[in-house]
Every structure is written in C-alpha cells, then in structure tokens.
A and B are shown apart, each in its own frame.
Chain A
Amino acid sequence: MFDYAFLILLLPFLSAIVLGLFGMKMPRKVAGLIGTCMLGTLFVLSLYTAYHYFFYTGEYSAMGQTFRVVDGRLSSGVYPTVTVFNLTWLKFTELLTFNIGLRLSPISVMMLIVITTVSFMVHIYSFGYMAERDENYKFEEYEHGFQRFYAYLSLFTMSMLGLVVATNVFQMYLFWELVGVCSYLLIGFYYPKHTAVHASKKAFIVTRFADLFFLIGILFFSFYVGTFNYDLNVNPGLSDKLASIAANPEIAWAIPTALFLMFIGGAGKSAMFPLHIWLPDAMEGPTPVSALIHAATMVVAGVFQVASLFPIYIKFGAIEQLHWIAYIAAFTAFYAAAVACAQRDIKRGLAFSTISQIAYMLVALGVCYAINDEEGGLGYMASMFHLFTHAMFKALLFLCSGAIIVIIGSNFKEYMGGLHKYMPITNACFLIGCIAISGVWPFAGFFSKDEIVSACFQFSPMLGWFMTLVSGMTAFYMFRLYYVIFWGNSYYEQDPENRRRPQEVPFVMWGPLVFLAIISIFAGWIPFGHFVSATGQSAEIHLQHFHFSSVAWFSLLAAAIGISLATWMYMPKHNPVPDMLAKKMPVLHKAALNRFYIDDVWQFFTHKVVFRCFSMPIAWFDRRVIDGTFNFLAWGTQEAGESIRPWQSGDVRQYAVWFITGTVALTLVLLCLI
C-alpha cells in the first residue's frame, strides 16, 4: 500500500540534482516552478500517506509483513510501524549492517506532514521573497541565487525526510549530517557577506562538534547492542538484547551513556545551552530558510531523535538521563527567553524564541518517567504536539518577519514601527502567530504548551512553576516584538519624503502566511493524542474537552500578564518604561543584549584555551616536525639530485672512468673476500 513511498525520498533528490546541475541554464521562474511543483507533489503524497496510515481499514503488507488494521490501528490498539523498504548499503559484520530504508511510525508520519507543509509554503513564499529581495538590493553577485536557492531547498527537504523516516540510527546520522550541510550552504547563501560566511562556519563547526558525540554514541550503541536499529516494534530481538545488557551490571552503563552522547548531538542541532550559539547567527541566511530550517524542521531534529529513542530511554534504565535533558532544556528555555526580551534584531529575537520553544519540547520529553499516557508519559505526546504546532506558528512568524524585512530592508526594530497601517495582512498574521506562541486559548500554542506544563507539574511542581514563568516571558517578548514592529513610532512617518513607504507584500508571499495562520489557529483542535502518544494507544487531550485544570488557568494568567505588560510598555508611541528599565539596570540589560556573554565564553574557551593549549602546540608540531620532516626529505632529495647531477655529464670518457674504477674495485673486493 505504501509502495509509492520511495518517491518521498526520490522526488526531492531528483529535483535537487536537476536544479543543482541544470538550474543555472534555466530561467528563474522555471527553476522555481520545478522545485515548487515537486514539493507540492510531495505535500500531497505526505497527506495521502498520513491519511492511509492513520485511517485505513483493511489489510496491507510491506516487506513481507502483513498488517490487519482498523482505522489504521492494529488489534492491539497501536499504530503499526511499517518498514516500506530497507536496503543494505554497507555490511560491517554479519549482524551489523548499514541499511537505508523508509519506516513509517506515528511520529515520522507526523514529521512528514510538518516538513512538507512548511517546505511547500516556503517554496511558494520564496518566489516573492527572493525576487523582491534581489530587486530591492540589486545583489549582482547573487545572479544565480534563485536557482541555487531552490536546489538547496530540495536537497534539504530530501535530507530532512530521510532523517525522519530512518530505519536505523546510522541512517539518521547520515541524513543528520546532510541537513547540517544544507544548513551550512543556506546560512552562507549570501556568501559575499562576511557575516554570512562566519555564521555558516560557526553553525557548521558547532553542530559538527556536537555530532561527534552523536557518532560516538552510535558507536557505543552498536558495539554493545550489535545493531543500528532502534525501533523496538519492528526488531523483535532488540528488546531482549537491550534487556540483557541493562541486567548485566558490568555493561549496564553502556545504554545510558550511548543515549546521552547521542543526545549531545541532538542538543547541538536543537540549539540547547551551551551549544545554542550558532542558531542566532544562522539568521544571516535568507528568511525563508530561517523559517524552514532554523525554526520548523532541522532544529527539531534533536527532539525527534530523543523521541525516537524514547522507548529505549524509558525501558532500559536511562530515565536519569532523560531528567538531565529536562534540566538542561529548562535552563535553556529560561535563558533564551531572557535574551529574547532584549534583542534589537527581530530575526534574532525570533531565533531565541525558537531556542526557548525547542527547549520546551525537550523538557516535555525529559520529564517523562514511565510509559503511561496519563501519568509519566504525557510529556512525550505533549512534546510531539508542541513540535507540530510550533513548526506551524514559528514558520508563520518567520515568514512574516521576512515580509517585513523585505519591505523595510533591515532587521532592526528601530527602522520599523507603526507598520499596522501599511501591512494589514502581515500584521494580522503576525498577531495570530504571537497569540499562538503565547498560549492563548483557543490558538494552537495553548493546547500543546499547557500539555507540556501539565507534564512538568506531574514530574515536579517546581519545574511546573518554572515553565509557567517562562511561558509568561514568552508572551512578553513576543508581544514586545509585535508592538515594536507594528505599533509605536513609525520610522517612515518621521521623514515621509526621504524614506520608502512600506506597503503590503504580493500575494505569493501573503498567501502562505494566511495558510499558516489558519493552521496556527486551528491546529490545537487536532486530536493529537489520538495519533501520537507514548504507548501508541489513543490518548485524550483534556483541554480540548474544556477540562481546564488549574495548570491551564495559571499559564493563561501568565500569558495574560506577559501580554499586558508588553502592551503597557511598548504599545504607546512613546514608551519610556523600557528605556528607563534599561537605564536602571544597565548591567542586566547589556548582558541580555549580549546574550549573557555565552558567545564570548565560547570565544574565550576556543581561542584562549583550545587554540592556545591544543591547537598551537599541534600546529607547531605539524609545521615544525611533520612538515619539517617532509621538507627535509624534499630538500635532501633535491640536494642529492643536485650533487649527483654533475656525474651525469654526458662525457663518455668520464663514464668509462667510473665504469673501470668500479669494475676494478669490485674485483679487488672479491679478491680480498676469496
């Protein structure tokens, strides 16, 4: 039934190949259309796949396995894990093989929807964005940027899809690195800009550094478990093997260690403290890319990874590690929210908001302590739900900010203000996004975030209150951003004659905005627990049935406080309060503006500690000893050649002298020996 599913990987790959190789020969529109049509097909395919996966009744088979399902569910009440195909690529040993396959599980199908929806919207939106941007700024050096952009987008989509349908952790790693490469390429898209080049390098190096741990984790895992597979449902022997390892006290440490090392890789991708430093800089890339890669899809790869390995964490003695993840993520959420309150660059503000929201998802996963949809396993469902809704409204927010940036020509809030008159549609969409992320009923963010907070309260009330506070901060900084962009003093009106009049963006740009805004409004009403839950059984989201707990009231209250505070501080044309606060607490404000100097700490660490203590001696060793050895060899060879060269004089008499001398000498030697 899912025989067509290989197209999900093949189509974007083909499109990337075609656009990458021949895109430069095509007109811009054709290249863009190819990419967009392919993505449209992919979007439809994903919806079709999801529909079949979740609602099919009857019998189908894949890879020789037959599934008898009613409404997509097996008789045990869970959705099947369908391996559509699984090809052996490399055979390390008889047991340990590297496979490339396609596996459908509830969360991977959900990810398919997320990726293709956002990617499709971004493809359409980029038509307008890239064209406008090129027109406004006349970047001659990006002449072929449009086609290149679409080629990269296709490649990224392929990699991300490959990541989420991975049948084993090694395939996940492969595509994981591929999305890293795409991210690198797209952040450095405006490569004549120095900041873009630096940002892309930073992103690549930081995530590669983290991925190193992922790889080590994989090696640990494969060494002790003897397989790369991680899905307990489709690999019957895996549970026994893991159980035997967990029961053996000598090597019981291996599973938690491997899992936590893998999480460090995920933390790099998902920008967890202290590996978050690359994400704000990644905003140097084109804004549609920020929406797709650095908000909706790639950065949640870490969450997806932890969620994929979640059953192993829970069942085989790595619950402690899950809780560590929760603490790291909780701190990150708070830190990023605090920094976001002071950013001047709207995209950076959104980037910190993204970090904070991803941290929410990881907190939700981390607070789980059992597989039980009601108690202990609620976080899993909440996390996936938040991933879904967040992808939608964060993509929306980024695309809105892209529309504003295209019109204004700057990322900084000082050049904005009062835009609600000029860009009504963008205004409405941004507002919807802000309300959604702040968690106001009945928008999408409310349901997912309050599930997370509920899960936190189940784990520990302290953490629950903490996350409620952060959600209040979320509401505050999002509305701060909203007001400074759309209200307050208008930069244009201060000098209308010399400044460009802002205007609404064209349809290709606001169309996707409206689409995503609609999803952001209604996504919360999707009975998500029905599809994705820790046990796989159908679970209820109580909030959707108006069973508001006190938790929900508190977080609504926090959101309301945040919003009103932001309204009071930033809504009026003249807002003296923030300036006064900034003046009263200069240290705090400056620290927040500079992201609490974490980048500088890393800078210090890498430059002063790593470079001084490791790199420089190694470089010295390399330059002096290794290069010296080879230089000496080269020099010796050359000198030997130079000194031997005269012997090769071409003077036959000299040769005769040597020949005779040699012969006589040899004869004498032989004589002496005899």
Chain B
Amino acid sequence: MIPVEYFFILSGLLFFIGVFGFVTRRNLVAMLISVELVLNSVDINFAAFNRLLFPGGYEGMFFTLFSIGVSAAESAVALAIIINVYRHFHSDQVNSIENMKL
C-alpha cells in the first residue's frame, strides 16, 4: 500500500520542475515540453486521488483520459504554430516573436 502523500509529493516535484523549465527555457519547443511535464504531474494527481481515496468512482480516471486527449490536441496545434513562427521569423526563440507586442 503506497501512502497517497507520496504521489502528491512526486506530482508536486514534477509540477515545479516543469515550471522551472518553462521559465528558464528560451526555445519554444522546449517550453512546450515543460508544459507536458506539468500536465503529466496533474494527471498523476487525478489518478492517485481516484484510486487511493475514492476507489468506487471513475472520475479521476476519465479526467486523466480526457486530459491526455486535450494535451495531444494542444501540442499538435502548438507545434503547428511553432513551425509557422519558425518559418516566418527563422527563429524558434521565444523573444523572436516579441515584436507582436506594441
């Protein structure tokens, strides 16, 4: 029997590693990868909550399932945009698209 706190600590650590990556990376693809880490940490939480605290329900599982679907769609669109940005600016650095601001 694994204490539920272990899962939470693991997911918390994973979450903030993702945040750290998101903040430090300059490359758009790398930032997106960090976002995937964050999403995964949330998924772990969903699953652990459901299984260890409310074993009778399916909500956590299904939300994880949906979350996987959503993140797939999100990364597909995001990568399309990144490739477009790259074509346009010939750079995939995050500050290359700063000229969108005023």
Contact = CB atoms under 8 A, between A and B. Distances in A.
Task: Check whether chain A touches chain B (CB < 8 angstroms).
Answer: yes
Interface of A: 648-653, 656-657, 660
9 contacts: A650-B101, A651-B94, A651-B95, A652-B94, A653-B22, A653-B23, A653-B24, A660-B19, A660-B23
B34 to A, nearest CB: 10
Chain B interface mostly:
helix
B101 A656 contact: no
Interface in B1-41: 19, 22-25, 31
Nearest to B26: A653
Given A651-B95, A652-B94, A657 B101 contact: no
Given A648-B101, A651-B98, A653-B31, 11 more contacts: A649-B98, A649-B101, A650-B98, A650-B101, A651-B94, A652-B94, A653-B22, A653-B25, A656-B19, A656-B22, A660-B19
Contact of A657 (B23, B25, B31, B94): B23
Interface in B50-102: 94-95, 98, 100-101
A649 B94 CA distance: 12
Interface of B: 19, 22-25, 31, 94-95, 98, 100-101
Contacts of B31: 652-653
B23 A656 contact: yes
B19 A653 contact: no
A653 B95 CA distance: 10
Contacts of A660: 19, 23
A63 to B, nearest CB: 69
A561 B23 CA distance: 109
A660 B12 CA distance: 13
Contact of B100 (A648, A650, A653, A657): A650
Contacts of B95: 651
A21 B19 CA distance: 71
A656 B31 CA distance: 11
Contacts of B19: 656, 660
Nearest to B95: A651
B95 to A, nearest CB: 7
Contacts of A652: 31, 94
Contacts of A657: 23
A575 B95 CA distance: 98
Contacts of B24: 653
A651 B94 CA distance: 8
Contacts of A656: 19, 22-23
The 9 A-B pairs with the shortest beta carbon distances in the complex, nearest first, are A650-B101, A650-B98, A653-B23, A656-B22, A657-B23, A656-B23, A660-B19, A652-B94, A650-B100
A91 to B, nearest CB: 54
A660 B94 CA distance: 19
A167 B98 CA distance: 73
Contacts, number: 23
Contacts of B25: 653
B40 to A, nearest CB: 17
Chain A interface mostly:
helix
Nearest to B25: A653
A286 to B, nearest CB: 58
Nearest to B15: A660
A326 B101 CA distance: 79
Nearest to A660: B19
A649 B19 CA distance: 19
A431 B35 CA distance: 106
Contacts of A650: 98, 100-101
B37 to A, nearest CB: 13
Contacts of B101: 648-650
B87 to A, nearest CB: 20
Contacts of B98: 649-651
Contacts of A651: 94-95, 98
Contacts of A653: 22-25, 31, 94
A656 B35 CA distance: 11
Nearest to A653: B23
A123 B100 CA distance: 70
Contacts of B100: 650
A660 B35 CA distance: 14
A660 B22 CA distance: 11
A656 B25 CA distance: 12
Nearest to B98: A650
A652 B30 CA distance: 14
Contacts of A648: 101
Nearest to A654: B23
A656 to B, nearest CB: 6
B6 to A, nearest CB: 21
A648 B102 CA distance: 10
A653 B98 CA distance: 12
Most central of B23, B31, B94 by chain A CB within 10 Å: B23
A171 to B, nearest CB: 58
B22 to A, nearest CB: 6
A325 B95 CA distance: 85
A652 B95 CA distance: 9
A152 to B, nearest CB: 53
A649 B100 CA distance: 10
A644 to B, nearest CB: 14
A652 B19 CA distance: 12
A660 B21 CA distance: 13
A619 B86 CA distance: 62
Contacts of A649: 98, 101
A12 B64 CA distance: 85
B23 to A, nearest CB: 5
A651 B96 CA distance: 10
A656 B32 CA distance: 13
A652 to B, nearest CB: 6
A650 B98 CA distance: 6
B11 to A, nearest CB: 16
A322 to B, nearest CB: 74
A602 B31 CA distance: 80
B78 to A, nearest CB: 12
A652 B101 CA distance: 11
B102 to A, nearest CB: 9
Contacts of B22: 653, 656
A597 to B, nearest CB: 65
A197 B23 CA distance: 70
A660 B23 CA distance: 10
A649 B102 CA distance: 9
Nearest to B19: A660
A665 to B, nearest CB: 14
A656 B19 CA distance: 8
A650 B97 CA distance: 9
